[in-house]
Amino acid sequence: EVHLVQSGAEVKKPGATVKISCKVSGYSFTDHHMHWVQQAPGKGLEWMGLVDPQDGETIYAENFQGRVTITADTSINTAYMELSSLSSEDTAVYYCARSNCSGGECYDWFDPWGQGTLVTVSS
């Protein structure tokens, strides 16, 4: 069975950087892209970006470009999302989510998702 297990909740001060991990099991880590999605309190879902663990290639959403770094460590089957220059607007739950790749084609809908990591930014 496929599992995505994220690191625990974080509390950060404004201006700080947070790094969240997403450890996968149950499938070949390099066969599927990994995405990150933000959900701020009372808001909808916002896509942040993805990493291809096969070669480390990334694509970022314009809203997060310059502040987000998504990486993958294939030695421990773990993806990471680092977000810098935090402000109160970054208080949110962050999810990792796997896209569906088959035979070299990737379809960018997400299944499964990690359990979510709450990041609170407060002075």
Partner 1 sequence: DIQMTQSPSSVSASVGDRVTITCRASQNIAGWLAWYQHKPGKAPKLLIYAASSLQSGVPSRFSGSGSGTDFTLTISSLQPEDFATYYCQQANSFSLTFGGGTKVEIK
Interface contacts to partner 1, rule CB under 8 A: 35, 44-47, 59, 61-63, 95, 97, 100, 107-116
- Cβ at position 98, least distance to partner 1 in Å: 10
Angle (nearest 5°) at CA 37 between 36 and 43: 165
Nearer to partner 1, 31 or 111 (CB): 111
Nearer to partner 1, 80 or 95 (CB): 95
Cα distance between residue 77 and residue 73, in whole Å: 6
Question: Residue 28 to residues 14, 31, 114: CA-CA distances in angstroms?
Answer: 37, 6, 16
- Cβ at position 38, least distance to partner 1 in Å: 11
